[in-house]
Chain A
Amino acid sequence: MKWLSLLIVLAWFAMAFGAFLVGESANLVDLNKLLAMPDWQSWLGYDELGRPLFERLLLGAQTSLFVALGVVIFSALIGTSIGIYSGFMGGWVDRVITKVIDVFLAFPGLLLAIGLAAVLGPGIENVIFALVAVGWVGYARLARAQTLSLRHREHIQAARALGVSQPVILYRHLLPLILAPLGVEATFGFAGAVIAEAGLSFLGLGVQPPDASWGNMIREGTRYLLVAPHLVIVPGVALMLVVLAINVLGDRGRDRLDVKQSTPHV
């Protein structure tokens, strides 16, 4: 399972980079091949405008990877910084930040992203912004909880007593200890961002045609479900495999960290 998942994720990266080689041919229209089914010449067939589906799938991979990387990197950086700072400072700073985190958690995440994407207008940058606005909270909560449990550790007390500056304590002495759980959170965040981007694009709020996203490919394809089901099946299978693979890797990571899970089963 683990190796297969790694292979799928690698294939996803390869597809995203392959999209650079495809270039304009993903948008080339061939009117003789409207809705053509897959065959030996074109593995995945053609879409409703006569564009090759394989090339569109690569472009979609690139979109999802780009959005997922953007969302995870920005959310993790912002969330972790806020969480560590809040946990380490304590006092009223911590109380205010905890309240803000509570409010964000009180919103259904997808709905907030839909609302933001709706008012900001469609586009890949706005999708990333909307998903970061929702996504940072998870990292902040985790980083705060971890910091609270670690800040009285002896090596941190020692660094304080030696007069090490606060940024150095946070960066050199605390951050390395909480990287592992944050990494697991980021792995699941990756899967969440891939699904959320596709979901927003499916609703017409994300990436707009002629740019390809697996979400808007499924959206366009549902209109031709009866005559050309491959338009929905192909991007959907790709999306599911990638999300499944990332989730398997995330589960593995979590099991490694969670000591309780390794107790022998009944």
Chain B
Amino acid sequence: MINYLLRLGLSLLFITWVVSSLVFLLIHLVPGDPVSVMLGDWASPADEQALRHQLGLDRPLWQQYIHYFMGLLQFDLGTSLFFQQPVSDLVLERLPMTAYLAVMAMLIAVLIAFPLGMWAALKSGRWPDYASMTVALVGVSIPNFWLGPMLILLFSISLAWLPVSGADQPWAWVLPAVTLGTALAAILARMLRASLLEIFHEDYIRTARAKGLSNTRVYGLHALRNALLPVVTIMGLQLGTLLGGAVITEVVFDWPGLGQLLVDSIQRRDYPVVQACILIISVAYITVNALTELVYAWLDPRIRLAN
């Protein structure tokens, strides 16, 4: 297990290093001069020179890279051009809101997916199966930037049950979380159904039946517990994806998280903030994935003993 942990830790460090290097290079991909793109056409050469110096773009690339990495190690992500305050403060202020949204979305996804997936598997080949899998297919296919406005139209405007946007009012999280969680609910439901159906063919299920156990015990105790392993893995991996997908949902609902900060900063050409948001969301994604792998290895010894 120690060997496994070391290997996982090293690969986590390596990938974080590569990803942060790619994020560093991102600003150098701006066509032309990033400084004149940021300041617009009307900036004076003196202003441009000052900004170039502030961002360190007047130094050789390798010096910029070392400076960037030294900064990262002290969690110094530069200064926002728009807010004129440290980027790390801005990001830390928004991060909890995004994490909260992702966790609530996951919760809603689980609450929808489990009954749907189990019902489909138990009634496999009959109409409940087709109905719930059709619902799941629609769920995967609805883009969240359309589902969001439709939910607002129904629940906020027509029925006036829930707030339209923001995060100040109680229950304001419900519509964004449902919007973000729908696709995941659909994926999990399909996964759980497939996983259960596979397990129904196993010998130990036949044995449990032959022993005369009730259906509730066979399905609830023997089948569901074993079907959960792949589903839990997918849940962990998808939590990372939720962090990425939250960008669009946050914009739709004006949710004050990292994603909204990212899109606003892109429009303001505030590149230090853009870089920091991409870096933080990516690192969160990588860490969640590594933790999922760890939990999976802990649950299933075959994984950690491989290689």
Residue ranges of A at the interface with B (Cβ–Cβ < 8 Å): 102-103, 106-112, 114-116, 118-121, 191, 195, 198-199, 202-205, 215, 218-219, 221-222, 225-226, 229, 232-233, 236, 239-240, 243-244, 247-248, 251, 260, 263, 265-266
Contact with A along B227-238 (1 / 0, CB 8 A): 000000000000
Q: Beyond A110-B247, A244-B141, list 11 extra A-B contacts (CB 8 Å).
A: A102-B15, A103-B22, A108-B241, A108-B244, A115-B274, A119-B29, A119-B271, A240-B143, A248-B137, A265-B125, A266-B197
The stretch of B51-59, B75-83, B106-114, B281-289 in contact with A is B281-289
With a cutoff of 8 Å between Cβ atoms, the chain B residues found around residue A236 in the complex are 143, 146, 149-150
- Do the beta carbons of B143 and A243 come within 8 Å of each other? yes
- Count of interface residues, chain B, beta-carbon cutoff 8 Å: 50
Query: What are some 25 contacts across the A-B interface (CB < 8 A)?
Result: A103-B15, A103-B19, A106-B285, A106-B289, A107-B19, A108-B240, A108-B243, A108-B244, A111-B247, A111-B282, A115-B26, A115-B278, A119-B271, A199-B145, A202-B251, A203-B263, A205-B266, A221-B149, A225-B149, A226-B157, A232-B150, A236-B150, A239-B146, A247-B137, A266-B124
Chain B neighbourhood of A233, CB < 8 A: 150
Q: Is the interface of B mostly helix, strand, loop or mixed?
A: helix
Q: How far, in whole Å, are A118 and B240 apart by their CA atoms in the complex?
A: 21
Chain A residues lying within 8 Å of B149, measured Cβ to Cβ, are: 218, 221-222, 225, 232, 236
Instruction: Give Cα A233–Cα B149 distance, bound, in whole angstroms.
Output: 9
Cα A260 to Cα B234 in complex, Å, equals: 20
B164 nearest CB across to chain A (Å): 9
Q: Does B43 contact A (CB under 8 A)?
A: no
User: Would you call B31 and A240 a contact (CB within 8 A)?
Assistant: no
User: Is B152's beta carbon under 8 Å from chain A?
Assistant: yes
Report how far A226 CA is from B27 CA in the complex, Å. 39
The complex places the Cα of A215 from the Cα of B243 at a distance, in Å, of: 21
A240 CA to B186 CA, complexed, in Å: 15
B65 contacts the other chain (Cβ, under 8 Å)?
no
Give the chain B neighbours of A225 by CB distance below 8 A. Answer: 149, 152-153, 157
Which A residue's beta carbon lies closest to that of B152?
Answer: A225
CA distance A203 to B29 in the complex (A): 20
Q: How many Å from the CB of A203 to the closest CB on chain B? A: 6
A110 touches B274 (CB 8 A): no
Task: Identify which of residues 88-144 in chain B touch chain A, using a CB-to-CB cut-off of 8 Å.
Answer: 124-125, 137-138, 140-143
Give A222 to B152 CA distance when docked, in angstroms.
10
B19–A203 touching, CB < 8 Å: no
Q: Which residues of A contact B282 (CB under 8 A)?
A: 106-108, 111
| Residues of B with C-beta under 8 A to A202 | 145, 248, 251
A227 shortest CB reach to chain B, Å: 11
| Contact with B281, one of A108, A222, A239, A244 (Cβ below 8 angstroms) | A108
Q: Which A residues touch B274, using CB under 8 A? A: 115, 118-119
Q: B296 within 8 Å of A by Cβ?
A: no
B222 to A: closest C-beta gap in Å: 13
Contact in complex: A106, B243 (CB < 8 Å): no
Specify which chain A residues have a CB less than 8 angstroms from the CB of B252 in the assembled complex.
222
**Please, which residue of chain B has its CB at the minimum distance from the CB of A236?**
B146
CB neighbours (8 Å) of B197 from chain A are: 265-266
Instruction: Tell me which residues from 247 to 277 in chain B have a Cβ below 8 Å from any Cβ of chain A.
Output: 247-248, 251-252, 262-263, 266-267, 271, 274
The chain B residue sitting closest to A260, CB to CB, is B198
The 6 lowest CB-CB distance pairs between A and B, nearest first, are: A108-B244, A236-B146, A244-B141, A265-B124, A118-B266, A243-B141
A110 partner residues in chain B, CB cutoff 8 A: 244-245, 247-248
For the complex, give the distance between the alpha carbons of A243 and B31 in Å: 33
CA distance A215 to B29 in the complex (A): 25
Residues of chain A with a CB closer than 8 A to B29's CB: 116, 119-120
Instruction: Among A111, A191, A203, A251, find the residue whose CB has the most chain B CB atoms closer than 10 A.
Output: A111
Taking A108-B241, A198-B143 as contacts, is the C-beta distance between A121 and B153 under 8 angstroms?
Answer: no
In this complex, the member of A109, A195, A198 whose beta carbon has the largest number of chain B beta carbons within 10 angstroms is A195
Q: Which residue of A102, A111, A199, A247 is within 8 Å of B140 (Cβ)?
A: A247
Residues of A within 8 A of B7 (CB): none
Asked whether A229 lies within 8 Å of B15 as measured between CB atoms, the reply is no
B146 engages A218 (CB within 8 Å): yes
B46 at the interface (CB under 8 A from A): no
Residue in B closest to A118 when the chains form the complex, CB atoms = B266
A229 to B152, CA, bound (A): 11
> Which single member of B141, B248, B271 contacts A240 (CB below 8 Å)?
B141
